[in-house]
Chain A
Amino acid sequence: MKKQTLIIASLFVLVLLFVGGSYLYKNADHSVSSEKTSALLRPYAYVLGNPNAKTTIVEFFDPACGTCKSFYPFVKNILKQNPDKLKLVLRYAPFHTDSYYVVAMIEAARLQGKYLEALEVIYKYQDKWASHGTPNIGLIWGFLPEVGIDIEKLKDDMKKPEIDALIKQDIEDTKTLGVKATPEFFVNGKPLVKFGKQELEELIASEL
């Protein structure tokens, strides 16, 4: 009888620890600490929306990531609904094979004033060039002229050391901030603890 009491008491304690731990974890403050905020916002990062907005969404994305593609129009739509109060800072988390080069293409397109055009066309044809198992980023060259990007200039610009430095800094920042999956959102320094479109919408609404 005593042994059974011990078993049941232990079971109770373990479950209680789990439930209590979950509660504490979910309610804890996960905001990015002040010494890490510089990793969140870099002056070179591309900004969408009102640059002087009070609420800042930082998105770490990978152009080869399907979920990032699906979040892109969603987040853009939220920006459109709050044109004055919101800005979106785009950062890179090139976790997939060869994503590094795709990011370099987007940055090089920015030098031609075609940042969003490049990003959107790369997302548009993601199924083709980023097919699972056999990614083929070479296909992207064929899609970019569609939005008027000069491929020869792009290839030259991609070799620029500042683009390389920028991507390396972004990768370094994903490590500092503990970004493990894409897309990862931070709204005014607060990460999205539970992932989902509705959760993101709620987090943004609470910061507006």
Chain B
Amino acid sequence: MNQIQKSSNTLFTLLFFAWIVSMVATLGSLFFSEVMMFPPCVMCWYQRICMYPLAILFLVALFCNDKNVFKYAMPLVLLGLFFAIYHNLLYFGIVPETLAPCSQGVSCTSDYINWFGFITIQFLSLVAFALIFVTLIFIRRLLPR
């Protein structure tokens, strides 16, 4: 197997992993809101705005074997990561929550799921964005210098 072939396979594996993570995050969040009827809070919406396009971007990149996806995906990932970190800080009370109108009646600190005492929706979101972030860094290393 030559060098190019090997690099292409690595790219495929990385992209495939990133795509699976973004798909699970997308479908999982839809499951929480549409099936289990948990209304998403404002913070969740910002993270969704960043996550949903990633599922499509990675799919297109997979078919085109495009390592340039780094350029398009990274801004979304950084923004999503920022909101996810902020959301977790809010949840743990490290950042105080400002008064929000109750039009939707959902606070960004409410606890819909809490598995084993630490797995909350905002924690899952943080894990997903962090995984994609690391994967993209590896994809970046495949780009010619």
B39 touches A (CB below 8 Å): yes
> Which of A15-23, A78-86, A110-118, A138-146 faces chain B?
A15-23
Contact A180 B35 (CB under 8 A): no
Report the Cα distance A180→B111, complex, angstroms. Answer: 9
Nearest Cβ distance between residue B21 and chain A, in whole angstroms? 11
Contact B30 A18 (CB under 8 A): yes
Report the Cα distance A36→B18, complex, angstroms. Answer: 42
Contact B35 A10 (CB under 8 A): no
Report the Cα distance A194→B35, complex, angstroms. Answer: 9
Nearest Cβ distance between residue A136 and chain B, in whole angstroms? 14
Nearest Cβ distance between residue A128 and chain B, in whole angstroms? 16
Report the Cα distance A95→B102, complex, angstroms. Answer: 10
A4 touches B (CB below 8 Å): yes
Contact B31 A18 (CB under 8 A): yes
Report the Cα distance A26→B63, complex, angstroms. Answer: 35
Q: Count of chain B residues with Cβ under 8 Å from any Cβ of A?
A: 26
Please indicate the chain B residues that have their CB under 8 angstroms from the CB of A4 in the complex. 63
Contact B31 A133 (CB under 8 A): no
Please indicate the chain B residues that have their CB under 8 angstroms from the CB of A53 in the complex. none
A18-B27 contact given A7-B63, A25-B35, A180-B38, CB 8 Å threshold? yes
Interface-central residue, B16, B23, B102, by most chain A CB under 10 Å: B102
Nearest Cβ distance between residue B90 and chain A, in whole angstroms? 17
Please indicate the chain B residues that have their CB under 8 angstroms from the CB of A15 in the complex. 27
Chain B residues within 8 Å of A, Cβ to Cβ: 12, 16, 19-20, 23-24, 27, 30-31, 34-39, 59, 62-63, 99, 101-103, 105-106, 110, 112
Chain A residues within 8 Å of B, Cβ to Cβ: 3-4, 6-7, 10-11, 14-15, 17-18, 21-22, 25-26, 64-65, 95-96, 132-133, 180-182, 193-195
